[in-house]
Amino acid sequence: MKYIFVLVFSLCIWFSGYSQKVYYFKIEDAIDKHTEVLADSALAKATRLKADYIIVEINTPGGDLGASMAINQLLLDYPKPTIAFINNNAYSGGAMIALACDSIYMADGGSMGAVTPIDGQTGKYASEKIRSAVRGKMRATAEKNGRNPNIAEAMVDETHEHDSVATPGKIVVYTPKEAIKNKYCEGNLNSVEEILVKYKISNAQIYRYEPSLMEKVISFFVNPAVSSILILLIIGGIYFELQSPGIGFPLVIAIAGLVLYFVPYYIRGMAENWELLLFLGGLALVAIELLLFPGIKIAIITGLIVIFIALGLMMVGNVGFSMEGVSKGALLSALVATSIGLFGSFGGIVALAPKLATNKKFSHVTLQTAQSSKEGYTASQTPLMIGKTGESYTVLRPSGKVYIDGQIFDAFTQGDYLEKNTQIVVIGQEGAELIVKIKQS
């Protein structure tokens, strides 16, 4: 009878553990807006599954401050027990996230702390305003989970001392033993499985976070290498569309590239509407240069700089023009990806532009016939033509062909854009080329 009771009791415990659900996801590498989206998505899926426990495995040097604080709040607000497993390091934002969990376990060799925010531009401590906000967040988080708030503040500010907790002049970073001693860690465990045994739920159903198809697609398009290719398509498409208005296909490519570039970053909360408007403003300056006032150069240079800045800002998750909280790695990645995209597009333009002259689809803006004397073309020796009148044989942007006295000549304007069949007058001559302007009626 005794053995039957033990068997029944054991089975009850076993089935009880199996009936529980555990949702598990990782936060690793540098924290950014993508990490925030991942955490939000994971917790939403855990809610739909009615998970009994959340385990967050952490191994990160920190990263974006805004994303770290957002994840911290998500975990603080979550109604079910949350467990942080620090399997290596939880620095900066990683410590802030771990502290938001109800329980913390650390693996051998792990460490936690050093939450002082760094200015992404200078590499030095962020402003006192930012540091004060982080100190307040850490204190509030510690208080909510029953931990010493003074220790939390000492992880942010090396000047904060509390008994023997902090060494003067040094920011608090705990090893597992130190964290356990100061009640900042519930135990020294080395795997998620050990945590499950600790909670007597080793037979629970384990659900691991898997990104959805949409999340995988977004992750693909926010890859810096893919972003560079999209920038190439955007700039190249716009250039060829402006060179041959009405064709449509280059414009479709440019618009598709811009949508695939902007929307994924926007969904992840990194790109903002004003950055898209900034890009369109830069594009407008380039269009003004190419279509209305060719030859000015200032407009196109300014426009390209504005486009470069706008595309780069979309990648880093900044707030306005402030780079506080943005890591150097994110800034460098955005700079490299944007530079490769822009210079790659320039290289593509140089390589592909000459083919316009032989492509039948561009025949309405380029000459497709041989320039033989039988068709009215002149040799390089051009008679004095100043004062002569005629009409533009092709579009002049600002160079092209003009038709005078039954002959065709190379010509250019002093920056004006002239449509085909515009009445012109010759005002100068440089070798075999004529300088022309619109004939006043």
The SS3 call for residue 264 is helix
48 and 187 share one domain: yes
> Which of 329, 361, 393 is at the close of a domain?
361
201 and 220 share one domain: no
Q: What does the pLDDT read at residue 100?
A: 96
Does residue 26 carry a pLDDT above 50?
Answer: yes
Does residue 5 carry a pLDDT above 50?
Answer: no
77 and 164 share one domain: yes
**What is the full DSSP assignment across 216-249?**
HHHHHHTSHHHHHHHHHHHHHHHHHHHHSTT--H
Residue 322 lies in a domain: yes
Q: What does the pLDDT read at residue 440?
A: 82
Residue 289 lies in a domain: yes
> Which of 337, 361, 385 is at the close of a domain?
361
174 — pLDDT class (breaks 50, 70, 90): very high
Q: What does the pLDDT read at residue 293?
A: 67
Q: What does the pLDDT read at residue 196?
A: 93
Q: In the chain, pLDDT over 90 holds for what percent of residues?
A: 32
Element (H, E) at 187: strand 187-188
80 and 125 share one domain: yes
Contacts of 33 (CB under 8 A, 6+ apart): 64, 66, 67, 268, 269, 270, 317
Query: What's the domain range around 271?
Result: 215-361
47 — pLDDT class (breaks 50, 70, 90): very high
User: pLDDT tens for residues 308-355?
Assistant: 888 888 888 776 777 665 666 677 888 888 888 888 887 777 776 555
Q: What does the pLDDT read at residue 270?
A: 77
57 and 187 share one domain: yes
* Distance of alpha carbon 395 from alpha carbon 401, whole angstroms: 8
- What is the arithmetic mean of pLDDT over 61-69? 88
Give me the CATH number covering residue 104: 3.90.226.10
100 and 116 share one domain: yes
Does residue 360 carry a pLDDT above 70?
Answer: no
314 and 410 share one domain: no
Strands 82-91 and 173-174: unpaired
Does residue 76 carry a pLDDT above 90?
Answer: yes
Element (H, E) at 302: helix 298-316
Q: What does the pLDDT read at residue 199?
A: 92
Weakest mean pLDDT among 158-162, 230-234, 386-390? 158-162
Q: What does the pLDDT read at residue 250?
A: 79
**Number of folded domains that form the chain:** 3
> Which of 329, 344, 361 is at the close of a domain?
361
Q: What does the pLDDT read at residue 169?
A: 61
375 and 355 share one domain: no
156 and 38 share one domain: yes
pTM assigned to the model:
0.62
Residue 190 lies in a domain: yes
Residue 421 lies in a domain: yes
- What is the arithmetic mean of pLDDT over 409-428? 86
Q: What does the pLDDT read at residue 175?
A: 94
Q: In the chain, pLDDT over 70 holds for what percent of residues?
A: 79
Give me the CATH number covering residue 409: 2.40.50.140
Residue 11 lies in a domain: no
- What is the arithmetic mean of pLDDT over 212-230? 85
Q: What does the pLDDT read at residue 14?
A: 43
Q: Which of 84-93, 110-119, 237-246, 363-372 has the highest mean pLDDT?
A: 84-93
332 and 382 share one domain: no
Number of helices (H), then strands (E), belonging to the chain: the values are 14, 13
SS3 track for 107-125: CCCCEEECCCCEECCCCCE
Q: What does the pLDDT read at residue 365?
A: 44
Residue 152 lies in a domain: yes
Q: What does the pLDDT read at residue 216?
A: 80
Burial 392-413 (b: 16+ CB within 10 A, else e): bbbbbbbebbbbbeebbbbbbb
More confident residue, 234 or 368: 234
User: pLDDT tens for residues 282-317?
Assistant: 888 877 776 676 655 788 788 888 988 888 888 887
Residue 2 lies in a domain: no
More confident residue, 86 or 64: 86
110 and 225 share one domain: no
* Distance of alpha carbon 415 from alpha carbon 300, whole angstroms: 14
Residue 88 lies in a domain: yes
186 and 322 share one domain: no
Element (H, E) at 12: helix 2-18
